[in-house]
Structure 1
Amino acid sequence: MARWQPETTERLIVAAVDLFGEQGYDATTVAQIAERAGVTKSTFFRHFSDKRELLVAGQETLSRLLAEGIADAPANASPLQAVAAGLERASGAMGPTNRELGPRLKAAVEASTELQERDALKSVGLAAAMAAALLARGVPDPTAHLAAELGVLAFKRGFTQWIDGDRSDDRGFAHHALTALRELHAATTSLG
């Protein structure tokens, strides 16, 4: 088995998602994931601390991109406009592989309590990154946290619409995330 091939992380993720779908998360071992990806078990552990971490591959990158987009938004941008800028920046990390794996990953998460818990922690991490970036812009604490939570909801809703939508729709993830943010913003007016 080759130890240092290009795109090892991506191959490990694809192998894991395929195995999770075929035999379930609990029945899948790290050794099986490594074998399917064509790498050694020790190579797996150079990329991930355990099989749960496959779910959050790229979370640090997404958090950084969301925060950078918010920080770089125009000074006069509202908190939600800044969140939109963060979503646009983060969309650059969401490519065809994400869209292809999305439905299978979603099914694996829905079938595993452990993965649902890890997915919830991922959402908390993304919200924390956005809230910190908004606070750094001088947005008051409650507003920053509310805008960040709306950003996470928009990210998740946009992702679901993107992966479940028509494959000939080439507008990309950003379109779906920003549409979801606008819909959520509109929905807040009906809260009373």
Structure 2
Amino acid sequence: MPRWDPRAEERLREAALELYSERGYEHVTVAEITERAGLTRRTFFRYFTDKRDVLFAGSDRLGPTLAAAVLRADAALSPFEAVLSGLVQVGDLLTEQGSSIAVQRRAIVRSSPELQERSRTKFAAVADSLVDALERRGAPAAEARLLTEVGVALFREAFERWTDAPGPARFADHVHEVSAELAAHLRVADPHVPGGG
């Protein structure tokens, strides 16, 4: 009987990412992933539901993790400051995992319409969790929805910058950079609609 391999999940993920990068996501099968990893299909399905799940496994925790961080933020913070605090905390977790796999994964997702759609679905679930957290902090529903849209946009842009320029900068540094740029634009924006009464 084969012995349990503590690195099985990691080996499967590495094999899948290599194959997706070499051949394209659509042209790779589970059998090819398991063969490359030197493991069985049974082992694959112990960790992943399908070949797409290799790229998104664990992503269902992003929304609840971000929401919990927002709820833990200092009660004196404004709703938007609480969002930024949550993004920084989640960013620290991402930074610990390193950017190399994130860069590879991002390139694979960008190459596949199916995976791009899955990514949009993932962020919609994150947004729902964040709206709920803000409302629980006392933000009105409309304000919670607006700040969530801004927060998700900030997260995505910070993630893009973090993966575009791997180096000493933490994910949280990019969150601060993007939010500062947004604040600068809002300071110079005229809140009145041209031609309005």
Q: TM-score, structure 2 length as denominator?
A: 0.85
Tell me, in whole angstroms, the C-alpha distance in 2 between the residues paired with 1:34 and 1:70.
39
Tell me, in whole angstroms, the C-alpha distance in 2 between the residues paired with 1:37 and 1:129.
35
**1:172 aligned onto 2:170:** yes
What SS does structure 1 have at the residue aligned with 2:93?
Answer: coil
Opposite residue 16 of structure 1, the aligned amino acid is: A
Where does residue 151 of structure 1 map in the other structure? 151
Structure 2 residues not aligned, in runs of 5+? 192-197
Structure 1 residues not aligned, in runs of 5+? none
Point out 4+ residue stretches in structure 1 off by more than 4 angstroms: none
Tell me, in whole angstroms, the C-alpha distance in 1 between the residues paired with 2:162 and 2:88.
14
Q: Is the 8 A contact 2:60 2:122 kept in 1?
A: no
Residues 97-137 of structure 1: CA distance to partner in whole angstroms, max 9, x if unpaired?
A: 54002222222112111001001111111111111111111
Opposite residue 175 of structure 2, the aligned amino acid is: A
Opposite residue 182 of structure 1, the aligned amino acid is: A
Tell me, in whole angstroms, the C-alpha distance in 1 between the residues paired with 2:95 and 2:17.
17
Where does residue 181 of structure 2 map in the other structure? 183
Q: Is the 8 A contact 1:55 1:119 kept in 2?
A: no
- How many residues are treated as equivalent by the alignment? 190
Q: What percent identity do the matched residue pairs reach?
A: 39
Tell me, in whole angstroms, the C-alpha distance in 1 between the residues paired with 2:96 and 2:36.
21
Q: What is the CA-CA distance between 1:39 and the residue it aligns to?
A: 2.6
Opposite residue 46 of structure 1, the aligned amino acid is: R
Moved more, 100-109 or 10-19: 10-19
Q: Is the 8 A contact 2:92 2:170 kept in 1?
A: no
Q: What is the CA-CA distance between 1:55 and the residue it aligns to?
A: 2.5
Q: TM-score, structure 1 length as denominator?
A: 0.87
Tell me, in whole angstroms, the C-alpha distance in 1 between the residues paired with 2:119 and 2:160.
14
- Structure index of larger Rg: 2
Q: What is the CA-CA distance between 1:184 and the residue it aligns to?
A: 3.2
Tell me, in whole angstroms, the C-alpha distance in 2 between the residues paired with 1:148 and 1:3.
46
Residues 150-170 of structure 1: CA distance to partner in whole angstroms, max 9, x if unpaired?
A: 2211111111111111x4x31
Opposite residue 63 of structure 1, the aligned amino acid is: G
